[in-house]
Amino acid sequence: MILEKRLEIIIDTLKKEEAVSNKFLTDKLGVSESTLRRDLSYLQDMGKITRVHGGAVLNSIAAREINFTDNQKTMLQEKSLIGQKAARLIKDAKFIYLDAGSTCNELIDYLSSDQDITVVTNGLMHLDKLINKNIPTILLEGEVKPATKVTTGSKTLEAIARYNFDLAFIGANGFDKRGFYTADVNEAVVKSKAIENSTRAYVLADSSKENVKYFATIAKRDEIKLITEEK
């Protein structure tokens, strides 16, 4: 059986089963384990599947965007650790872009009112913490999106284009070996602009978001560094 036909069968099988074992695929295709491994590696490099222990799963695009209220209740220890790591990177940076999101929100807990920084953000959820710490803050204008508590849209993109940052911390709904993703293309372009206008930029995302892909791409994996709770 030629390569193209084998790949077609693997994808069709995964669409039906969502996850399959290597044993199932070798029996179905009538190939050796080494041939199957090469086929699966090829599909994984294309971004179509993810290899897991003993099998493979189909990469699909997540459709549901989790609102901020629900998201802030999950992976609390992991997000706190990420916030600590991110805060240590600020050092002498003075102008910070802090993206919206529950993980970026944790970073504020590790900031000090003594730090000589100005924070620019589109995250409404950050305002109380930043005000309580007396940290100078600029909120980007734009349309308010209630579910994720952000300002977004053309006015937000116009506003962020006026600023340059020493450091940007970006939130993401998902990531894989190819890139970082979010559900809303309007939010994605604001995040991308923040990265473009920053001397240094980092995505803050916990490990539960690994191999989760959404509709809009924020950046390719090699364009920005990832901070997660893992070493």
| The predicted structure's pLDDT at residue 60 | 66
pLDDT for res 64: 62
Residue 17 sits in the same domain as residue 103: no
What is the predicted pLDDT for the residue at 80?
A: 96
* 53 & 72 share domain: no
Compute the distance between CA of residue 164 and CA of residue 150 in angstroms, rounded to an integer.
20
Do 39 and 72 fall within a single domain? Answer: no
Tell me what pLDDT residue 57 has. Answer: 78
User: What predicted TM-score, i.e. pTM, was given to this entire model?
Assistant: 0.75
Q: How far apart are the first and last CA of the chain?
A: 43
- Give the pLDDT score at 226: 97
* Residue 63, in any domain of the structure: no
Task: For residues 202 and 96, state if they share a domain.
Answer: yes
Residues of the chain below pLDDT 70: 18, 60-65
Q: What is the CATH number of the domain that holds 121?
A: 3.40.50.1360
User: Do 128 and 160 lie in a common domain?
Assistant: yes
Angle (nearest 5°) at CA 32 between 26 and 33: 75
Q: For residues 132 and 222, state if they share a domain.
A: yes
Considering the domain architecture, whether residues 79 and 140 belong to the same structural domain is answered as yes
My answer on whether 52 and 76 are in the same domain is no
Q: Could you give the number of structural domains in the chain?
A: 2
* Percentages of the chain per state (helix, strand, coil), in multiples of 5: 40, 25, 35
Going by C-alpha positions, the residue among 174, 163, 173, 69 that lies closest to residue 124 is 69
Whether residue 142 lies inside any domain: the answer is yes
CA distance 199 to 210: 25
189 in a domain, yes or no? Answer: yes
Q: Return the pLDDT at 108.
A: 98
Q: What is the Cα 212 distance to its own chain's centre?
A: 9
Show the domain range for 39.
Answer: 3-58
- Based on the fold, state whether residues 74 and 103 are members of the same structural domain: yes
The Cα-based distances of 201 to 16, 98, 158, 198 in angstroms read 39, 10, 20, 6
Cα(106)–Cα(209) distance, rounded to whole angstroms?
A: 17
Residues 206, 82 contacting (CB under 8 angstroms)? yes
Last residue of a domain, one of 58, 84, 104: 58
**pLDDT (0 to 100) of residue 18:** 65
CA distance 10 to 217: 26
Q: What pLDDT does 61 receive? A: 64
Does one domain contain both 44 and 153?
no
